[in-house]
Amino acid sequence: MITALALLFVGGSYAMWSETLRINVTVNTGEVDVKWSGWSVSESDHGKPWVANTSVTVEANDSEGDAIKLAIVMNNTYPCYWANVSLVVDNIGSIPVKLYSSNITGVNKSALYVNLVKPGDTQIDPGENATYILQIHVLQNATENTTYKFNVTLIFAQWNEVQEAPR
Q: What is the pLDDT of residue 48?
A: 61
53-94 pLDDT tens trace: 888 999 999 999 999 999 999 888 889 899 999 999 999 999
Statement: residue 167 has pLDDT above 50: no
CB 74 within 8 A of CB 52: yes
- 63-69 long-range CB contacts below 8 Å, 24 or more apart? 64/33, 66/33, 66/35, 66/92, 67/35, 67/36, 67/37, 68/35, 68/36
The answer to whether the pTM exceeds 0.75 is yes
Q: CA torsion 158→135→149→33, rounded to 10°?
A: 20
